[in-house]
Amino acid sequence: MRFCLLVLLVHCVHLLFSQSSWMGARFTNTAMFLDPNEIQMFGSINGLLNQNMTENQYLPFGVGGSQSIVSKAESKEKGWEIFGEMGVFTQFQWQQVDGKQQRNMLNVDYKLAFSYARKNAQNTYRLRFFHVSSHLGDDYIIRNEINKYSENKVNYEQLEFTYFRELNNNIRTYAGAGAVIRPNSLRLPFSYHLGFDANLKGAGKKWGWTFGAFSKGHQETDFSPSLKAGAGRAFYASSKVEPIRIVLEYYTGHLPYSQFEEERIEWLGLGLYFYL
């Protein structure tokens, strides 16, 4: 009996992965470029609206990408893939202190994710597992004379589900929820996210427009929504699904990076976003 079950399992796995593509191009599009914690290539220069914008700037940067591990296209509009992602998020602060310019590294966040995504016409479903950890920068530790351990709740593993819907060739919406799965985590488990993005490009043209908005909330901060919105120009390359974006952006809500997420921040700035 066990041998029959083993043979059946091997046969099912063979059918599942036959005619699959290994380590090829991404088959599904799960981009949410306005998510501050999205694994992509980005950088922005922002003025803090609750401070003197000419003397205090906040500069988050991200380096990361994704790679399809295995995928299977049943048709152009239907299929699935398993892919991995890895990204690093760094934040700097430029400020005037006693008439002198300081450029301090505040924090570094690391994120590693593995996802299963399935596309069916205009609908895409993604189940993702990820790990994230946050670490204060040396500049911040030294200038604030931190010499002891501080509790860090931004070090956890999460499982989340996101549903993407293409309304037409230009507009895409998405919504999802997640839960921390690390046993005995210091962090309250649940979170949600939702948003949309629109890409407007004329026929035969490389340049167009892009805009969108993204919101998320965590149980750790009483599900209080944080919002990021952006609009600007986009360059559409034939080899890429997502364009290169240069956007005017606005963020309000809880600090999206570091262990100090209970703090609130509001910025206005200019950002560059693209996917490898």
Interval 177-199: pLDDT, tens: 999 999 989 999 999 999 999 99
| pLDDT surpasses 80 at 13 | no
- The Cα-based distances of 128 to 84, 150, 161, 230 in angstroms read 9, 29, 6, 25
pLDDT at 54: 80
In CATH, what is the architecture of 22-274? Answer: Beta Barrel (2.40)
Question: What's the pLDDT at 7?
Answer: 53
- pLDDT tens by residue, 163-182: 999 998 899 999 999 999 99
pLDDT at 134 over 60: yes
pLDDT band, very low/low/confident/very high, at 15 (cuts 50, 70, 90):
very low
Asked if pLDDT for residue 16 goes beyond 60, the answer is: no
Residue-averaged pLDDT of the chain: 92
pTM: 0.91
